[in-house]
Structure 1
Amino acid sequence: MAKRSSLSIRIVEGKNLPAKDITGSSDPYCIVKVDNEPIIRTATVWKTLCPFWGEEYQVHLPPTFHAVAFYVMDEDALSRDDVIGKVCLTRDTLAAHPKGFSGWAHLTEVDPDEEVQGEIHLRLEVVPGTPAGRLRCSVLEARDLAPKDRNGASDPFVRVRYNGRTQETSIVKKSCYPRWNETFEFDLEEGAAEAVCVEAWDWDLVSRNDFLGRVVFNVQRLWAAQQEEGWFRLQPDQSKSRRGEGSLGSLQLEVRLRDETVLPSGCYQPLVRLLCREVKLGTQGPGQLIPLIEETTSTECRQEVATNLLKLFLGQGLAKDFLDLLFQLELGRTSEANTLFRSNSLASKSMESFLKVVGMRYLHGVLGPIIDRVFEEKKYVELDPSKVEVKDVGCSGLHRPQTEADVLEHSAQTLRIHLGALLSALSRSVRACPAVVRATFRQLFRRVRERFPGAQHENVPFIAVTSFLCLRFLSPAIMAPKLFHLRERHADARTSRTLLLLAKAVQNVGNMDTPASRAKEAWMEPLQPTVRQGVAQLKDFITKLVDIGEKEELDLQRTLSLQAPPVKEGPLFIHRTKGKGHLMSSFKKLHFSLTTEALSFAKTPSSKKSALIKLANIRAAEKVEEKSFGSSHVMQVIYEDDAGKAQTMYLQCKCVNELNQWLSALRKVSISNPGLLGSYHPGVFRGDKWSCCHQKDKSDLGCDKTRSRVTLQEWNDPLDHDLEAQLIYRHLLGVEAALRPRGRAGPASAGAAGPPGGPPLWLGRPAALGAPPPRATADVRPAPPNPCPRRAPCQVLGDPRCAFGSSLPLLGEQGLGLSWAG
């Protein structure tokens, strides 16, 4: 059983930010920190005080995190970036909003005395002495302190204060992981101060000392406990008055915390078997669970439910069958061909998720070169005469300014070139398209053709395919390439307009150049010859795409499975530790590739790769202190070589996003390795000691804890079958709750009649879906005994009664049992 926390983060926009540049504007971006650890950096929006980002992230964290903070920064090319302000949301605040925090939040001033981090290891005890006793405080060590000096470290010491007396430790130079092992004693007096304060400070020779954090203990509690020892989180000094709220602008955020307790796989087998059986039987079977989920899922959570279901069926090898069932359900209730798959139904949302999870690499291969060319050219492109601004274009020839007609003609020519290149790339990509995608489109094509036969509906099967391929996959990626990982930054205003017009042209081709699409925006007429030619190309492409037999599908899947696609790849600088010299002098740029087998490198992306580290040998992947290499974007991979000896490799990334993406990928693929480290050294062993904690033994235990559970969710993540099953199960509990107010029967008691050997699942068909059979029964065989100490009623959702009372047979000896009356 494992507890997992995740944060869904959407950074929407900012408004009324203060101007930081001499031009009266700013170049804002956001840094997201969890417990002062930077994990996300948004793109910079240039020259604006009201930036729009619209970036979404999913972060997986240990349940013990304390706060997430959003720092709005102003990017400067020549000096250090300015801090505009921050918004901090504690874990308690997020837990108080089960549906997530959403709205505008005022930016507050960033006070150095509040920017604290790290923990301190203390032992406090009351010992005999004076009539009231003596307080003994042992200051042992600290870790992950805030770096306050320009060298990326601090010179920390600790000040212990009680009843007007102050004692201080020695100063540890250039370390955020100091060890003191010093003890102080104070006489306890009745009626004296009731608190003892332990403060960490950074010593400075010239300027004032910097505050690093504090921990306050209640003396009465110490009297009762006699002794207290452990790692204590440093807290800020919040006694200072703040600048008026709103004077630094505001940030619009959507943040949702989700805590899940995921049980062993066996506990979810009855539910998984039931869902798989229903999908295999399709619309001919007695199952009604998926139609029930579709009917009762709200618009707000439909995308999430669709993604969870899709990933579960991907893990079971039934994604194609699941989507086929949804296609049939939607076709069964659609009477007009022109409305098919145009709504945000479960089928549409599931297909969107399917294409992103399975087809993203294919998308990059088709679209990548075209998007790169648009960004590099930065041409002014406009087809709408009402929006043409000739002054932005310049001259068409020697000293001759361009006319509006020139602009429109050149724009049409540019778009024709881009659209033609895209359609040609698409036409050549049939074999590159993943086999499961081709097979799914084949099923969709066949189902639509069966539902809408006849010459008048000749184009409907093609439009059904393009409604997903073009309208929900290619066009959104063209309009927002950063959100599909095609570019690292958002496009500027000029490039964005080009991309938007290109996306519209792709939509027109996807709509098969219908009169309705032509009449919508008449100024797109100059592209009509290319669009008409593109329709013919696209139909030919789809015909070849769906022309895949079962044998060819199996051959393609077998070929793709042998190729082990990379989980992450890209250029990195490798640092080599040689002798006692400074490590910055020894580094080399190489192209790295991480697969499910090894971390490899090559001189160029096309060169032959050499295996560097076997995946099974990785023991940790962590960040390195800034002072170690003069850069904050260095990570270390700790592994065992073939002789079983511990080795460390240092890799430098170009930015914080790239750093965290590599760390996340390495942690995901090695999470099941035996012998993962619980602690590590964030510094380097240079000369005769560690730069972080100054220990002289190279094999000494690490001075900081590893963060192997901090990862970012991405489209190419390994599937987590148990988590997906838990999320679906949780949703089903919500469905059961939604049925009650509508007059449906609630869950049967644990003693409900059913087939012997396991709890039954009675499923009634919702009235909206037509009359049900007399009663549909699915026999859920017992799961292996549940090792979880919690017996029914289960407490997996945090409520002792699981919100439904002890009558619901949830997660007990027999695994999952769900029950509805028909």
Structure 2
Amino acid sequence: MAKRSSLFIRIVEGKNLPAKDITGSSDPYCIVKIDNEAIIRTATVWKTLFPFWGEEYEVHLPPTFHCVSFYVMDEDALSRDDVIGKVSLTHSLLAEHPKGYSGWLNLTEIDPDEEVQGELHLRIEIVGSEAAKKLRCQVFDARDLARKDRNGASDPFVRVRYNGKTQETSVIKKSCYPRWNETFEFDLDESAPEKLCVVEVWDWDLVSRNDFLGKVVFNVEGLLTVQQEEGWFLLRPDKSKPPQDEGNLGALHLQVRLRDEMVLPSSHYRPLVQLLCREVKAAAQDGKAHLITLIDETTTAECRQEVAINLVKLFLGQGLAKELLDLLIKLELDKTDEPNTLFRSNSLASKSMESFLKVAGMQYLHRVLGPTVNRVFEEKRCIELDPSKVESKDVGCSSLHWTQSESDVIQQSVHLLQSYLTDLLAAIAKSVGLCPVVIRATFRQLFKRVGEHFPEEKDQNIKFIAITSFLCLRFFSPAIMSPKLFHLQEKHADARTSRALLLLAKTVQNVGNMDPVISCAKEGWMSPLQPTIQQGVAQMKQFILQLIDIEEKEELDLQRALTLPSPVVKEGPLFIHKAKSKGPLLSSSFKKLYFALTGEALTYAKTPSSKKSSFITLANIRVAEKVEEKSFGSSHVMQIVYSDEAGQAETVYLQCKCVNELNQWLSALRKVCVNNTGVLCAYHPGIFRGEKWSCCHQKDKTGLGCDKTRHGVTLREWNDPLDPDLEAHLIFRHLLGVREAMKEKYLELLTLEKGENFPLNQSEDLENADGPTLLFRVLQDLEEAHDKELSRLRDLADQEQNCLVDLQT
């Protein structure tokens, strides 16, 4: 059984932030840290005290993390960014809210004595005879200490206090990974009122006062029982002071949900997966879909999005995504008599199709929308069609010869929007060959189903609208309005660009509605675009006919293609640095190269279109981790340790442009190397320079690393490799939660079908049992297996607890 933890994070907005700039405003952004390691940076929202971000992330991480913190920063172009305040949520707090923690949280000021991180390696024991007992504390080393000095490091020493006496280690200069190997002894006084031994870590400073780095506290009475305790101990903050500015620093609206999943081996989930697949296949033959109907009927709005994406991913992995969506669409059509309401609700069918497009078509989306969205961002033109929203600053002197009126602004906006829409429609029209085969096959089936359900001449547009309701209204338009959330842009649009994108998205929606007259009538100021939208409708219809014109032979290899990894997992420009080189990372001797990560290797080229050279075979990668800022004067450098042809370890250093890109590359590398053998459990976060490591000052270049690796920390992306066991487990957990509701619904369906009340079939004749009856049996078996494994793990934990006493307060 594997325990997997994931943290869903939605940073919604802030309010009442303090002004940090002389203009009376701020330029806020958020940094998300997990155990003091920066994982996420939101976009900056300029000149506001009420920022809206609306950014969502999911982080997969080990279940041993302690805290997630949100720092609200004010970006400054000429000086160091200001810290406005922070919000911290502990692991235990999140565990108490299984449905997630949501709401407004007041920002608190940063207390230096609470900004601690890292671990201390100690052995503390009772030695000596009964008449002369001593408390011995051996201080070995520390790792990942907070960086308190300008050089990106600290000068740490350890202070041990017991029974009014204090002893200190030597100071290790410029290291966050110090090694002391020093031993201290105190006379044990069992009658002393103070029963604690406190081990503190400090940063030594020559001029100012020493900075507190954290502490570990031991209960001496407990130590008398076990005699000895050794290990890595998390450094704790000093006793926190009451917050001084509670509520005065503004507030942050967050949604955070922690999920710990205990995933069983594949064999346990195989009956569930086989049953679901059998039901979907059988429904295509006999039209009966009791099992999928039950899932559809009992899935509430609260969890519909999550269930949809889990189903889509599971059936994609089984090569049956088209069949699943076809079945859900058929169920939706059976409940729809009015064509104008088709797919307008957030049903399981609609959510599943929307999730399917994001999982299977994100690369397609980027290639179609990317050029037009980039053009809008680059031109930053004023676009406004609504006379009531034309601002005075947009009207006035345009040049020395003429004054720009309100009508001039609107006329100019019409031409610009027509130009953007024309470019976009042209890109869509040329994209038939770029669209994944599975999407084309699914749309063909959707077109056919809707046409059969609404065969009358007056409803001929409905089968086109069925496709555009997903492609345009739920896929293209949201990405145009919020390109940052779809990774089309790294930053949010400013107010002017945002308005241009919104109007462009509206025109695309109007094209998707297939009725420009009615669409423009709702907002009369859109009427100047009616001829362009009318032309766009004709182009869209022609595109859809070409899109669904897919031969059966093109689907023969569909199932195999779906299970293969994406040809390119991650790509983009990076700066490369060789470990044996000297000088700053971005000196003129270093080249900017274009890297691409595939399922087999990390490759590079001079430009995206140049011939690629194989660089590192994935099977040879041993670790991918961050590099200390002081090593190169940059906080966005990663290292890849790999084995060369002779089996010798080599290291390459790559610089990214921001913290998000750094974590995305690390995440992608860790995912594709998840099954590698010979991975490292420890690494050096510094570099080997001047015959020693810059992090821990070791002189053995090939020695064991001084920090633990973080293989388990990854970011969820739409193009992630499919994980059948996890998806099957998530579906099992959902079905278990609605099992009783499904049983009640199943009895209703049987009663309607048979015309009388029928008891739920509890027969042992499973070969002749129907889908729902089999499902309830499979869920029961899975639940028993899960409980048995959990019980075994609890017994092991209890045994360990009986052997060890937690000495930390």
Sort the TM-score into its range (normalised by shorter chain).
over 0.9
The aligned counterpart of 1:659 is 662
**Superposed displacement of residue 289, structure 1:** 2.0
CA contact (8 A) 1:44 1:75 kept: yes
| 2:725 counterpart of 1:708 | no
The aligned counterpart of 1:308 is 310
| CA distance in 1: counterparts of 2:585 and 2:769, whole angstroms | 63
User: Secondary structure at 1:649's aligned position in 2?
Assistant: strand
User: Secondary structure at 2:417's aligned position in 1?
Assistant: helix
* Residue correspondence of structure 1 range 61-72 to structure 2 within 5 A: 61-72=61-72
| CA distance in 2: counterparts of 1:562 and 1:59, whole angstroms | 24
Give a deviation string over 1:464-516, Cα, whole Å, max 9, x none: 00000000000000000011110000000111111111111111110112543
Pair 1:796–1:761, CA change in 2 (3 A): farther
Pair 1:32–1:393, CA change in 2 (3 A): farther
| CA distance in 2: counterparts of 1:32 and 1:14, whole angstroms | 14
Give a deviation string over 1:171-208, Cα, whole Å, max 9, x none: 11111111101000001113211000000011111111
User: Secondary structure at 1:431's aligned position in 2?
Assistant: helix
* Residue correspondence of structure 1 range 30-45 to structure 2 within 5 A: 30-45=30-45
**Superposed displacement of residue 70, structure 1:** 0.2
* Residue correspondence of structure 1 range 136-151 to structure 2 within 5 A: 136-151=136-151
**Superposed displacement of residue 577, structure 1:** 2.3
User: Secondary structure at 1:482's aligned position in 2?
Assistant: coil
**Superposed displacement of residue 372, structure 1:** 0.5
RMSD: 2.5
* Residue correspondence of structure 1 range 456-475 to structure 2 within 5 A: 456-475=458-477
| 2:357 counterpart of 1:347 | no
The aligned counterpart of 1:768 is none
| CA distance in 2: counterparts of 1:129 and 1:312, whole angstroms | 64
Amino acid at match of 1:371: V
Which of 624, 629, 641 is the matching residue for 2:627? 624
| 2:726 counterpart of 1:723 | yes
CA contact (8 A) 1:62 1:710 kept: yes
| CA distance in 2: counterparts of 1:739 and 1:782, whole angstroms | 12
Give a deviation string over 1:628-671, Cα, whole Å, max 9, x none: 11111000011111111111110000000000000000000000
The aligned counterpart of 1:501 is 503
Pair 1:377–1:354, CA change in 2 (3 A): same
**Superposed displacement of residue 565, structure 1:** 2.2
The aligned counterpart of 1:690 is 693
Amino acid at match of 1:754: E
| 2:765 counterpart of 1:755 | yes
CA contact (8 A) 1:575 1:651 kept: yes
CA contact (8 A) 1:132 1:189 kept: no
| 2:605 counterpart of 1:602 | yes
Pair 1:191–1:722, CA change in 2 (3 A): same
User: Secondary structure at 1:152's aligned position in 2?
Assistant: coil
CA contact (8 A) 2:319 2:560 kept: no
| CA distance in 2: counterparts of 1:412 and 1:797, whole angstroms | 67
CA contact (8 A) 1:130 1:187 kept: no
| CA distance in 1: counterparts of 2:294 and 2:132, whole angstroms | 69
The aligned counterpart of 2:81 is 81
Give a deviation string over 1:250-287, Cα, whole Å, max 9, x none: 00000000000011111100000001011112252554
| 2:216 counterpart of 1:206 | no
Give a deviation string over 1:656-690, Cα, whole Å, max 9, x none: 00000000000000001111111111111112111
Pair 1:68–1:438, CA change in 2 (3 A): same
**Superposed displacement of residue 517, structure 1:** 1.9
* Residue correspondence of structure 1 range 374-393 to structure 2 within 5 A: 374-393=376-395
CA contact (8 A) 1:260 1:797 kept: no
**Superposed displacement of residue 582, structure 1:** 6.0
Amino acid at match of 2:736: L
| 2:160 counterpart of 1:160 | yes
| CA distance in 2: counterparts of 1:799 and 1:509, whole angstroms | 57
User: Secondary structure at 1:483's aligned position in 2?
Assistant: coil
User: Secondary structure at 1:252's aligned position in 2?
Assistant: strand
**Superposed displacement of residue 97, structure 1:** 0.6
* Residue correspondence of structure 1 range 307-706 to structure 2 within 5 A: 307-393=309-395, 395-513=397-515, 515-554=517-556, 565-578=567-580, 585=587, 586-706=589-709
More helix by share: 2
The aligned counterpart of 1:771 is none
The aligned counterpart of 1:222 is 223
CA contact (8 A) 2:578 2:651 kept: no
User: Secondary structure at 1:176's aligned position in 2?
Assistant: coil
| CA distance in 2: counterparts of 1:299 and 1:94, whole angstroms | 23
User: Secondary structure at 2:475's aligned position in 1?
Assistant: helix
Amino acid at match of 1:45: V
CA contact (8 A) 1:761 1:778 kept: no
| CA distance in 1: counterparts of 2:376 and 2:3, whole angstroms | 45
| CA distance in 2: counterparts of 1:733 and 1:797, whole angstroms | 19
Structure 1: runs of 5+ lacking an equivalent: 746-750, 765-775, 802-822
The aligned counterpart of 2:114 is 114
Amino acid at match of 1:587: F
User: Secondary structure at 1:85's aligned position in 2?
Assistant: strand
| CA distance in 1: counterparts of 2:328 and 2:108, whole angstroms | 48
CA contact (8 A) 1:638 1:649 kept: yes
CA contact (8 A) 1:60 1:711 kept: yes
Pair 1:558–1:138, CA change in 2 (3 A): closer
Give a deviation string over 1:518-548, Cα, whole Å, max 9, x none: 3211110000010000010000000100111
CA contact (8 A) 1:142 1:178 kept: yes
User: Secondary structure at 1:31's aligned position in 2?
Assistant: strand
CA contact (8 A) 1:577 1:583 kept: no
CA contact (8 A) 2:395 2:406 kept: no
Q: Percent identity?
A: 70
CA contact (8 A) 1:102 1:254 kept: yes
CA contact (8 A) 2:272 2:778 kept: no
| CA distance in 1: counterparts of 2:276 and 2:600, whole angstroms | 32
Greater shift, 66-75 or 643-652, is seen at 643-652
| CA distance in 2: counterparts of 1:384 and 1:645, whole angstroms | 66
CA contact (8 A) 2:72 2:84 kept: yes
| CA distance in 2: counterparts of 1:737 and 1:560, whole angstroms | 34
CA contact (8 A) 2:201 2:214 kept: yes
User: Secondary structure at 1:112's aligned position in 2?
Assistant: coil
Amino acid at match of 1:648: T
Pair 1:562–1:710, CA change in 2 (3 A): closer
Greater shift, 192-201 or 123-132, is seen at 123-132
Amino acid at match of 1:210: D
CA contact (8 A) 2:319 2:562 kept: no
CA contact (8 A) 1:270 1:780 kept: no
Pair 1:405–1:118, CA change in 2 (3 A): same
CA contact (8 A) 2:76 2:82 kept: yes
| 2:257 counterpart of 1:256 | yes
Greater shift, 187-196 or 444-453, is seen at 187-196
| CA distance in 2: counterparts of 1:395 and 1:334, whole angstroms | 55
| CA distance in 2: counterparts of 1:322 and 1:34, whole angstroms | 38
Give a deviation string over 1:345-391, Cα, whole Å, max 9, x none: 01110111111111111111110000000011111111011111142
Per the normalisation by structure 1, the TM-score is: 0.91
Give a deviation string over 1:725-780, Cα, whole Å, max 9, x none: 000000001111445788979xxxxx954237x9x97655xxxxxxxxxxx66798
CA contact (8 A) 1:270 1:782 kept: no
Count of residue pairs brought into register by the alignment: 780
| 2:51 counterpart of 1:51 | yes
The aligned counterpart of 1:16 is 16
CA contact (8 A) 1:576 1:583 kept: no
Structure 2: runs of 5+ lacking an equivalent: 749-760, 796-809
Amino acid at match of 1:38: A
